Chains A and B, each alone.
Chain A
Amino acid sequence: MNETALLTEGLSKSFGTQAAVSELNLRIQPGAVYGFLGRNGAGKTTTMRMLLGLVRPTKGSARVLELDPTREMELMRILERVAFVPQRKQLYGWATPAELVRMNKAYFPRWSDDAAARLAQRLEIPMKMAFKKLSIGNQSKVALLLALAQGAEVLILDEPTAGLDPVMVDEILRTLIEDHVSQGRTIFVSSHHLGEVEQICDWVGILEEGRLLLESRLEEIRQEFRLVIASGEGLPTAQSTDVVSATTDGRFRRFVVAREAERFAADLRSQGAAILEISPIGLRELFLHLVRKEDACTPGNVGAKPAPVSSFS
């Protein structure tokens, strides 16, 4: 499979005057595990819905497995090969998980009974209880079960671990790695569990108010991204391709630098600044720096034209 798994070009969606997604450009290769991060209302769910034909873009285009979800026949082919877990994991209240599995199985020739049984056991799902009687956690697990046993090439998961206890989250991660990532399947997942995202994803994209603020390989974030804390006069306030974020914290200024932090620090020192710290930055910290609205000294730290920090190699 040489085709790009997910591609969006200038993808935009407005609801009335409210722009939910703006000029989104994504290119996700097959086999990638892409963590799509953002605050609630950032536009992650709307993006996923556009990929699956539930919502039509206002502008721009989206392609899944090089098929266009706005065309019904192509959408059908997408849906045969893509598994989706929606944010609202609502299924038919009167049906038991066993019945839901039977219903779902009929749509997908690549359905695996073994995978379904194994997953049902691992996730401790009460298969004979009506869906409406299940706890919300169990309901989520059923939705996950239906998607993960489907035999899909691409998984689009909207907050799959929301509301699950840590043991269940661990089981989901294990299943994703064992049954999906190891088979080279593509995973496009949105989550607030940044720790888990950091564990299993190769790529990360951070969305805020409909715009992609940052997109990077996780390894790069670990190896190259650095938090530089400096104090002094005349410190740069503008973003550049290397400075992803700059915030003020009292007398100090915090820069998140995407590469060559040492050189950046040296430049600052040569301007008379004192460097207090150059440290690696984890995903949670990076995320907070990018999307938090307080203390931003760059006029558009948030929501403005983002620094295009991405590598597609």
Chain B
Amino acid sequence: MILHLNPSSGVPVYLQLEAQVKQAVAAGALRTGEALPSTRKLAATLRINPNTVARAYQDLERDGVTRSVPGGGTFVADGLPGLLKSEKVKRLRPHARQLAVEGRQLRMTREETLKLLEEELDKLGGQG
């Protein structure tokens, strides 16, 4: 699994990691049941603090993207059957707010912002 970091992008490293894993899963590049590298290994490979990786993995597990096994190891989970709709909405709202705020800051119209969102959804493919 190839992950790429941009340490000076201003986005926290753990968020970058989470985003990349989520994107890989969403696009099908990471399949259900596939194993992610261990915290230590990934930290060493990327030359970052293991705590950062651990944080990302924790968040991914909390979000249901991955699950960890008692013996150790993190694997891609299969869907989010257990999550309530309200919980999903709660999770997604901050991202929606950010998109809205940024769009407003950049003085894009509502239509332009929505169009952008649709384009990204199209890129992911899969279920509509």
Residue numbers of A with Cβ under 8 A of B are: 33, 170, 173-174, 177-178, 181-182, 195, 198-202, 219, 222-223, 279-282, 284
Contact = CB atoms under 8 A, between A and B. Distances in A.
A32 to B, nearest CB: 9
Contacts of B12: 219, 222-223
Nearest to B5: A199
A176 to B, nearest CB: 9
Given A178-B40, A182-B40, A200 B10 contact: no
A202 B51 contact: yes
B10 A182 contact: no
B47 interface: yes
Interface string B47-85: 111111001000000000000000000000000000000
B7 interface: yes
Interface residues of B, number: 17
Contact of A177 (B8, B11, B48): B48
Contact of A199 (B7, B11, B51): B7
B100 interface: no
15 contacts: A174-B44, A177-B48, A177-B49, A178-B40, A182-B44, A182-B50, A195-B7, A195-B8, A198-B7, A198-B8, A199-B7, A202-B49, A219-B14, A222-B11, A280-B10
A199 B49 contact: yes
Contacts, number: 51
B24 interface: no
B47 A282 contact: no
Most chain A CB neighbours (cut-off 10 Å) among B43, B47, B48, B51? B47
Contacts of B55: 219
Contacts of A279: 10
Contacts of B47: 170, 173-174, 177, 199-200
Contacts of A181: 43, 49-50
Top 4 closest A-B pairs, CB basis?
A280-B10, A222-B12, A173-B47, A178-B44
A222 B11 CA distance: 7
Nearest to A184: B50
A222 B49 contact: no
Contact of A201 (B8, B10, B40, B49): B49
Contacts of A178: 40, 44
A170 B47 CA distance: 8
A280 B8 CA distance: 10
A91 to B, nearest CB: 27
Contacts of B49: 33, 177, 181, 199-202
Given A182-B50, A199-B49, A202-B49, A177 B10 contact: no
Contacts of A170: 47
A178 B44 CA distance: 5
Given A182-B50, A281-B10, 20 more contacts: A33-B49, A170-B47, A173-B47, A174-B44, A174-B47, A177-B47, A177-B48, A177-B49, A178-B44, A182-B40, A182-B43, A198-B8, A199-B13, A199-B48, A201-B49, A202-B49, A219-B12, A223-B12, A282-B8, A282-B10
A170 B12 CA distance: 20
A74 B40 CA distance: 34
A157 to B, nearest CB: 15
Nearest to B10: A280
Interface in B1-52: 7-8, 10-14, 40, 43-44, 47-52
